[in-house]
Amino acid sequence: MNNKVVVLKKGKEDSLRRFHPWVYSGAIHHIEGKPDEGDLVDVVSADGAFLAKGHIQIGSIAVRVLSFDEKEPVDASFWQHRLQVALEVRRAIGLFGNPQTNSFRLVHGEGDGLPGLIIDVYGSTAVMQAHSVGMHVCRHDIAEALADVLSGTIENIYYKSETTLPYKANLTDSNGYLLGGNADDVAIENGLRFHVDWMGGQKTGFFVDQRENRALLEKYSLDRRVLNMFCYTGGFSFYAMRGGARLVHSVDSSARAIDITRANVELNFPGDERHQAFATDAFEFLDKMPSCDAEDAYDLIVLDPPAFAKHRDALHNALQGYRKLNAKALQKIKPGGILFTFSCSQAVNKDQFRTSVFTAAAISGRKVRILHQLHQPADHPINIYHPEGEYLKGLVLYVE
Ligand code: SAH
């Protein structure tokens, strides 16, 4: 029995009995054994019954649960087993051993029973990201298990947690290779190639979560004038080009993202003059772009902004942001145009997002039909006991 124990207040054990993987600090009565941040603790009810074990951390989510089984040790075989199951899931959905797509998410935090841990695979490189102190503490054990589970597939493990770990925890060694280091940065998705900037880029270097939505966009691209707003490294753009778009304009406020977008287009469509990229602010671009009745209006627009609400208290502003952004695009899209619009804010649910887009449509006065309702792909699974894991939402709209 672990002597580091979190004792809950009376009546606060219900969510753990329903396998929800978080303990909020407000539910804690007292803590025994003086655990350090990142330590493994047992969580018990007010009357001392074992509920779960997990990593403790300062903050509103105080414990992230690793196991509800008192007898399951968190040791080398634990990491090995969890990663092996995660890999079996990716194999089951056709993402492992697929030469057309060698980039996928192997571990999606709570969705794979590993709260605080993200692992994305890009060809022969796995990029590992810790969002909790506990996962940071365990990084070498996890890397060892990962190298074992993916042996023969990956040669490099890059650890990238500088921006995702709590700043106040004052941790060191939060970025760097844990295995290899001499990696080819080109990965493949549905046969398209792209550079992944895991060292300097956002998140783990690429947004693998839009893979299926990009493939859907390809089908709508023929002969269209496409605007890929918030393009990052150009994912939607090169699918649109393969789909036969008349032209593709990629926009992002980050000059570095635009440079990589250009390089990625060049990698797939060398010398193709249909593509142009602009390093500029989305709202300014939308204000200046042609109106819906102009000859050169866009008739396929992608809006994939960063999370407007990182926390629940920012919800109101986030919804306003989605409304404003979508209203601008809906006002200016050509009649018969298609809008792909997304929200990746965890704090904004499907209905709230849909209501913002509905309001935007009403402001624009256009007739709008919903063609598709989009979401995150199967390699970003949602733990059924943790509905908060559902974060990516999208709508495909036909605008008359
Ligand atoms: N659609 C992308 C992912 C978008 S991530 C893909 O498929 O890979 C969000 C992007 O929005 C980031 O690249 C960020 O640089 C950009 N961004 C953030 N604020 C912006 C703004 N005001 N105007 C333009 N781009 C912005």
**CATH number of the domain enclosing 249:** 3.40.50.150
Going by C-beta distance under 8 Å and a sequence separation of 6 or more, which residues neighbour residue 198?
122, 125, 127, 158, 160, 185, 204, 205
The closest-lying atom of ligand 1 relative to the alpha carbon of residue 254 is 15
Residue 81 lies in a domain: yes
- Whether residues 132 and 239 share a domain: the answer is no
- Whether residues 260 and 365 share a domain: the answer is yes
**How far does residue 268's CA lie from ligand 1's centre (Å)?**
21
Instruction: Output the CA angle 70-71-74, nearest 5 degrees.
Output: 90
- Whether residues 16 and 83 share a domain: the answer is no
Going by C-beta distance under 8 Å and a sequence separation of 6 or more, which residues neighbour residue 270?
none
Specify the pLDDT at position 168. Answer: 86
Residues with CB under 6 A from ligand 1: 202, 207, 210, 230-233, 235-236, 252-254, 257, 281-282, 304-306
CA distance to 16, 21, 29, 117, per residue, from 12 (Å): 8, 13, 9, 26
**How far does residue 236's CA lie from ligand 1's centre (Å)?**
12
User: Which residue matches tokens 């989605």?
Assistant: 322
- Whether residues 22 and 171 share a domain: the answer is no
pLDDT higher than threshold 90 for residue 237 = yes
Q: Whose CA is nearest to atom 15 of ligand 1?
A: 254
How far apart (Å, rounded) are the C-alpha atoms in residues 130 and 144? 15
The closest-lying atom of ligand 1 relative to the alpha carbon of residue 214 is 7
Question: How much is the average pLDDT of 350-357?
Answer: 97
**How far does residue 174's CA lie from ligand 1's centre (Å)?**
24
Ligand 1 pocket test: which of 203, 216, 252 has the largest number of ligand atoms within 8 Å of its C-beta? 252
- Whether residues 125 and 228 share a domain: the answer is no
3-52 pLDDT, tens digit each: 999 999 999 999 999 999 999 999 999 999 999 999 999 999 999 999 99
Q: How are strands ordered across the β-sheet holding 50-56? A: 22-24, 61-67, 50-56, 40-44, 5-8, 28-32
Specify the pLDDT at position 137. Answer: 97
The helix (run of H) or strand (run of E) holding residue 186 is: strand 186-189
- Whether residues 276 and 389 share a domain: the answer is yes
Is there a catalytic annotation at residue 344? Answer: yes
Question: How much is the average pLDDT of 356-367?
Answer: 98
pLDDT exceeding 90 applies to what percent of the chain?
A: 94
pLDDT higher than threshold 80 for residue 311 = no
How far apart (Å, rounded) are the C-alpha atoms in residues 122 and 60? 33
Grade residue 1 by pLDDT with cuts at 50, 70 and 90: confident
Residue 198 lies in a domain: no
- Whether residues 113 and 260 share a domain: the answer is no
From the candidates 138, 231, 292, 344, give the one annotated as an active-site residue.
Answer: 344
Q: Please, what's the b/e burial string for 342-374 (b: 16 or more CB within 10 A of its CB; e: otherwise)?
A: bbbbbbbbeebbbebbbbbbeebebebeeeeeb
Q: How are strands ordered across the β-sheet holding 368-375? A: 275-279, 247-252, 225-229, 300-303, 337-343, 393-399, 368-375
CB 42 within 8 A of CB 2: yes
Residue 200 lies in a domain: no
CB 186 within 8 A of CB 125: no
Quote the domain boundaries for residue 158. Answer: 76-189
- Whether residues 87 and 232 share a domain: the answer is no
Residue 195 lies in a domain: no
- Whether residues 98 and 145 share a domain: the answer is yes
The closest-lying atom of ligand 1 relative to the alpha carbon of residue 232 is 13
Question: How much is the average pLDDT of 302-310?
Answer: 91
Cβ-defined contacts of 389-393 (< 8 Å, 24+): 389/108, 389/109, 389/110, 389/111, 390/346, 390/349, 390/350, 391/344, 391/345, 391/346, 392/209, 392/210, 392/342, 392/343, 392/344, 393/342, 393/343, 393/344, 393/348, 393/349, 393/350, 393/353, 393/354
Q: Whose CA is nearest to atom 20 of ligand 1?
A: 253
- What pTM, to 2 d.p., does this model score? 0.96
- Whether residues 227 and 249 share a domain: the answer is yes
- The domain tally of the chain equals 3
CA distance to 31, 94, 226, 326, per residue, from 364 (Å): 55, 41, 20, 9
Specify the pLDDT at position 2. Answer: 87
**How far does residue 233's CA lie from ligand 1's centre (Å)?**
9
Grade residue 328 by pLDDT with cuts at 50, 70 and 90: very high
Residue 197 lies in a domain: no
